Amino acid sequence: MLHIDATFRALTPGGRALLDHIRHSTQNLLLQSMPDTTYERLASHFERIDLPAKHRLEEVHQPIDFVYFIESGLASVVAQTRDGLQIEVGLIGREGFTGASLLYDDDQTPFECYMQVPGEGVRIATPIFAAAVFQSHQLRRSLLRYARSATIQLAYTTLCNGKTHIDQRLARWLLMVHDRMLSSALPLTHEFLSVMLGVRRPSVTDALHVLEKHGLIGTSRSMITIKNREALILFAGSTYGPAEREYLRLTGQTLGQRSW
């Protein structure tokens, strides 16, 4: 059971001015869309933090100490077995937050969540977050609707992994990363791609060559550049788009204002 006895700080005029500055500068779409009073309930307790690559945000079956609202960079949610099998089951960028299991009164997760692309964000201690969610119906509703969109993303990832070729899976995944980044140059290694897609590194190399041959992407050492997004969408087929439309329906936000 989560403890929700946290006390919220009253805002001084200077503190409110600082929060207003953070609010207008944040790149996190959920924070941008929150009503002022809902946002202030969280933001008075935010701690700004750098998020380097491989920084762990959640560990398997360990207490979740902080909730992170990512503003730049990219986090992967990875499922794994005792004998080392692993695959990505979720992406979190500036459209969302970590620690969604807390909304269901569960303070841990069977998945690992770590930064794949370095960035920045803000975090809030779990007891403070739990208290805010308990006390604010509007906040709880907003976060639950995002959590719902994440389960839909997972469902379409499962469909794509089970029914499409690795080339299409890679195309869809690159589009999802592009949606969450502010650049068409994506700092991604073959090692990460093999984990994300659940395939061997040679299969990743072959799939990248296919997309590059069609002029959809460019590749260099530890970097993939999206060259023709519209053609990449066509190549990915119908598995890209449904989850993105559901995110728009549920949150009212468009991922990167991009077409799908």
The tens place of each residue's pLDDT in the chain, 260 residues long, gives 444 444 445 555 555 665 665 666 788 999 988 888 888 878 889 999 999 999 999 999 999 999 999 999 999 999 999 998 888 999 999 999 999 999 999 999 999 999 999 999 999 999 999 999 998 899 999 999 999 999 999 999 999 989 999 999 999 999 999 999 988 999 998 888 988 888 899 999 999 999 999 999 999 888 999 999 999 999 999 989 999 999 999 999 888 655 55
- Burial code (b: 16+ CB inside 10 Å, e: under 16) for 143-173 equals bebbbbbbebbbebbeebbeebebbbbbbbb
Q: What is the pLDDT of residue 256?
A: 60
Extended strands (E) in the chain: 47-51, 56-58, 66-80, 86-92, 112-125, 185-186, 217-220, 223-226
Q: What is the pLDDT of residue 41?
A: 79
Residues 50 and 70: their CA atoms lie apart, in Å, by: 10
Residues 237 and 6: their CA atoms lie apart, in Å, by: 47
Biggest CA-to-CA distance, the chain: 58
Helix spans in 26-165 (H): 29-33, 36-43, 126-135, 137-163
Residues 139 and 135: their CA atoms lie apart, in Å, by: 9
Residue 209 is which amino acid?
H
Enumerate domains of the chain plus CATH numbers. 13-136 (2.60.120.10), 159-251 (1.10.10.10)
